[in-house]
Amino acid sequence: MKKIKRKIICIDEDLCNGCGNCIPACPEQALQIVETPNGPKARLVKEFYCDGLGACLGNCPTNALSLVEEEAEPYDEEATIARIKELLEKHVKHQKEQAAGRTDEQEVVPASRGKPKGASSCPGAAVIQMERKKETRKKQGRAASELRQWPVQIYLVPPTAPFLRNADLAIVADCVPFAYANLHEDFLKGGTVLVGCPKFDDAEAYIDKMAKIIEHSKPKTIKVVRMEVPCCSGLTQIVHEARKRAGSSIPFEEVIVGIRGEIV
């Protein structure tokens, strides 16, 4: 592949501590952590996976990442989308294999006690039992729903739905409502919501649907609300790819929710 002069990510290995914060921050999954004689370091998987837009820059605690202009292979969008889809498919397969290997007799234990033999090693499937302190405050009136449209599932919402036009759009991972108690007040009020799972649903179909929504309905903003588990970062990647496919610079924000219900 002929190289051209363009912007691309540069990694200062002297500054890189191998923390991996840049991995989920890269929508194209162009970065990986590799073992070196000096410990784990971030590296580009392939030059043509990096679009040179620098989405990963603000997530490096040591400022080891920078954008430079140099001779590099041109960005290949088709190869990048194919790689993301392959990674998601591998993860889904891994999850199903791990789930098939578990039995009902396995003990459910708090995270502090470690995991039982045979339990899944995937962070997103880690079995955790959380204890909640009983609230002593008086019960208040039941909260009202802030949902303003139907349907909510990404697959079911047509790109021409009137509630999408010029909307403040929240793309919510389907586990979030169970973890985050104030979802309606904080993310649904006054806006439009779409719900999906980046782990078990078709990533390419989501990208195509979201691109059509952006092109046709032109929402004002997009906010991805996802869980902190690594597999859920696929939802952010899907939206980034959809924005690129639609040729849109629509304002974008990501909110990450911890499994205990806090904003990370």
How confident is the model over 93-99, as a mean pLDDT? Answer: 66
Strand 65-72, strand 4-11: pairing:
antiparallel
Q: Is the pLDDT of residue 220 over 80?
A: yes
Does some domain include residue 148? no
Which of 72, 99, 119 is a domain's end point? 72
**CATH number of 241's domain:** 3.40.50.2300
Strand 168-173, strand 192-196: pairing:
parallel
Q: How many domains does the chain have?
A: 2
Q: Which domain holds residue 173?
A: 162-257
Does some domain include residue 102? no
Chain segment 32-88, per-residue pLDDT in tens: 888 888 888 999 999 999 998 888 887 788 889 999 999 999 999 889 888 888 877
Interhelix angle 77-100/203-217, nearest 10 degrees = 130
Could you write out the three-class secondary structure of the chain?
CCCEEEEEEEECCCCCCCCCCHHHHCCCCCEEEEEECCEEEEEECCHHHCCCCCCCHHHCCCCCEEEEEEEECCCCHHHHHHHHHHHHHHHHHHHHHHHHCCCCCCCCCCHHHCCCCCCCCCHHHCCCCCCCCCCCCCCCCCCCCCCCCCCCECCCCCCCCHHHCCCEEEEEECCHHHHCCCHHHHHHCCCEEEEECCCCCCHHHHHHHHHHHHHHHCCCEEEEEEECCHHHHHHHHHHHHHHHHHCCCCCEEEEEECCCCCEC
pTM of the entire predicted model: 0.57
Reported confidence tier of residue 92, pLDDT bands at 50, 70, 90? confident
Q: Is the pLDDT of residue 103 over 60?
A: no
Does some domain include residue 182? yes
Does some domain include residue 234? yes
**CATH number of 11's domain:** 3.30.70.20
Does some domain include residue 111? no
Nearest to 171 by CA among 190, 191, 189, 196: 196
CB 41 within 8 A of CB 62: no
Give the count of alpha carbons within 13 A of 170, CB side only.
Answer: 25
Q: Is the pLDDT of residue 97 over 90?
A: no
Which of 49, 72, 95 is a domain's end point? 72
Which of 15, 47, 72 is a domain's end point? 72
Does some domain include residue 134? no
Q: Is the pLDDT of residue 194 over 70?
A: yes
What per-residue confidence (pLDDT) applies to 125? 58
Tell which wins on pLDDT, 187 or 127: 187
Does some domain include residue 185? yes
What per-residue confidence (pLDDT) applies to 105? 40
The CA-CA-CA angle for residues 201, 202, 203, to 5°, reads 105
How confident is the model over 119-143, as a mean pLDDT? Answer: 59
